[in-house]
Amino acid sequence: MKTRKLIVWFCFAALITLSGQTPAPPAAAAPPPAPVPITDADVKNVEAPKAEARAKGDPDGALTGTVSDIAVADSKKGLTIGDLVSQVGQNKIAINFVWTLVAGFLVMFMQAGFAVVETGLCRAKNANHTMMMNFMVYGTGMLAYWLIGFTLQMGGVGAVGNLGGSPVLNAEFTVTLFGKTFGLFGQNGYVLMHNGAYDVAVMVIFLFQMVFMDTALTIVTGSAAERWKFSAFLASSFVLGAFIYPIFANWAWGGGWLANLGANFGLGKGYVDFAGSGVVHAVGGLSAMAMAIIIGPRIGKFDRTGKPFAMPGHDVTLVITGCFILAFGWFGFNPGSTLGASGNGNLRIGSIAVNTMLAGMAGAFTAMFYMWIRYGKPDASMSGNGLLAGLVAITAPCGFVNPISAVIIGALAGVIVCLSVEFVERVMKLDDPVGAISVHGTNGLFGVICVGLFADGKSNYGGSWNGVPGSVTGLFYGDSGQLVAQLVGVSTLIGFVFVFSFVLYLIVDAIFKHRSKPEDELAGLDIPEMGALAYPEFELKTSGLHATPSGD
């Protein structure tokens, strides 16, 4: 018993002593070993898998992707350090090529999402026509962009480091204003053959930018649905893909004057639009508004006093399925806009993807609750539009904000889209069957402004943005100049892009006439314009008039 007490006291005393001890000063750090240069001889000593081992197959993958897979420049010399370095560079660019291409494929699939959302929100008698517009906008836009648009947008962008620094797109048309250079449009790259544009990196850039442009084009088909003559639609889509979209995209992404507001005028990092809230969605939404004003509302949308009537779509399952397809495609839209996954801070793609999904979720929630509180039911199509609004709004800031800001931006966008739909319909008396103006136009502008407010200065894409060193930082984190740059972009979208598209659409109207004949519109455009019904085995109501006042 005495011995046990002694042991306890000894342990207790030892504990006290040890806990009170100050740590011994660290031993003087040993000098780092001198770097040993790697020589070609070292590389030659790396053992390749034996042929007999390879002949038995490689079920665990240990023998695949080894030194024997590195390309050798000179077989007489064998593997050298130069071969290794070239392989590392090739691997980086290959990762970035594959990343950007796969992201572009996802964005291309968004066309299917737009097609079913718009068709579901239209009446059954126009389903074939609406589907066909969404289908052919892909080809028409691509043709216009390949012939003209790509050059105007990217022909002066210069080297894109993530894709190999290809320098062939290096001719920007500029003017001098206030003693500074203002880039207006690119000049290299027509039909992907002009002035060295037949280049692997240029092809990747073209594919990715082309599918973005097509997204903007398909927005307009929503606002003019159910009364747009197909010939006028084709011509309008061509001018949007060839001129309207590429000009603003050059100013923002192609090395144009908006991108250089930071370098030239000290406004933050210049106009910043990570994945296109402004370039894609606001351009599409404002063009959609111009078209809605010119073409006028559908017959039966408003009564003689201007009171709007609801014209419900024919298939809410299509609408919600389309929203899911779009949300899926947005994972190409936003994270893909890094144009790479390796190097230059591109590992932020995880943060960008999470911001994207959070904002979409928040938008769907707030739109659903807004409709539920205001009208008594959680409206499905407006919940879908809320999801899209959140995604549109986060598209510009997704690369520069934290997850909390992403949720705030998405939540605000979900309410904004509901308010905007009501304003467009009840105050402006515009007929926008799918809410394209509000989802893409209003929230596109909101997203652009959000960069100037919420960017937290934590991103680092190679140490600079638009040629200005440092990280993009908004007003809430200390840079008021960034907000001004964003607002100059907003003003350009409203004041220039809207007018430009309005004038070009008026020219198209003078040649083709946008509006279909009243009797065709009342019958539904499927037979008069397309020659076939989307649902030939169903009996369709052909009246354009509905008895349900909008919002009641």
In the complex, minimum distance from the CB of residue 359 to another protein, in angstroms, rounded to a whole number = 24
Looking at 108, 232, 261, 339, which residue binds another protein (CB under 8 A)?
261
Q: How far apart are CA 425 and CA 435, in angstroms?
A: 9
**From candidates 143, 184, 299, 353, binder to another protein by CB under 8 A:** 299
Stretch that binds another protein, among 55-63, 264-272, 274-282, 456-464 (CB under 8 A): 264-272
For another protein, the closer CB: 225 or 406: 225
Residue 448: other Cβ atoms inside 10 A: 29
**Rounded Cα gap, residues 234 and 241, in angstroms:** 11
Residue holding tokens 């159910």? Answer: 226
Q: At a CB cut-off of 8 Å and minimum separation 6, what does 167 contact?
A: 158, 159
CB-based contacts of 384: which residues, under 8 Å, 6+ apart?
A: 117, 319, 320, 322, 323, 364
* d(C-alpha 67, C-alpha 303), whole Å: 76
Q: Does 229 bind another protein (CB under 8 A)?
A: no
CA–CA distance, 276 with 267 (Å, rounded to integer): 19
Nearer to another protein, 46 or 428 (CB): 428
Q: Which of 139, 312, 403, 495 binds another protein (CB under 8 A)?
A: 495
Spatial distance between the Cα atoms of 231 and 9, rounded to a whole number of angstroms: 98
The rounded distance, in Å, linking the Cα atoms of 295 and 310 is 19
Options 21-29, 112-120, 191-199, 298-306: segment touching another protein (CB under 8 A) = 298-306
**288 and 219 Cβ atoms separated by less than 8 Å:** yes
Residue selected from 6, 404, 499, 532 as contacting another protein according to rule CB under 8 A: 499
Alpha-carbon distance of 212 to 280, in angstroms, equals 7
Q: Which of 430, 448, 472, 523 binds another protein (CB under 8 A)?
A: 430
Q: Determine which residue in the list 94, 503, 532, 545 makes contact with another protein, applying CB under 8 A.
A: 503
Q: Which is nearer to another protein, 429 or 458 (CB)?
A: 429
In the numeric block, which tokens belong to residue 205?
A: 């850039």
Type of residue at 458: K
What are the CA-CA distances from residue 449 to residues 56, 155, 329, 485 (Å)?
Answer: 61, 27, 24, 9
Least Å from the CB of residue 301 to another protein: 7
Amino acid at site 304: R
**Angle at alpha carbon of residue 443, lines to 437 and 447, rounded to 5°:** 145
Per CB under 8 A, the segment of 134-142, 200-208, 288-296, 387-395 that binds another protein is 288-296
Q: Which of 243, 324, 476, 502 is close enough to bind another protein by CB under 8 A?
A: 502
Binding mask 464-493 for another protein (x = CB under 8 A): ----------------xx-xx--xx-xxx-
Q: C-beta of 123: minimal distance to another protein in Å?
A: 17
- Tell me the C-alpha distance between 68 and 79, whole Å: 9
Residues 398-427, interacting with another protein (CB under 8 A): 427
319 vs 437 by CB, closer to another protein: 437
In the set 35, 178, 350, 510, which binds another protein (CB under 8 A)? 178
Q: Which residues bind another protein (CB under 8 A)?
A: 177-178, 261, 264-265, 267, 289, 293-294, 296-297, 299, 301-304, 306, 427-430, 480-481, 483-484, 487-488, 490-492, 494-496, 498-499, 502-503
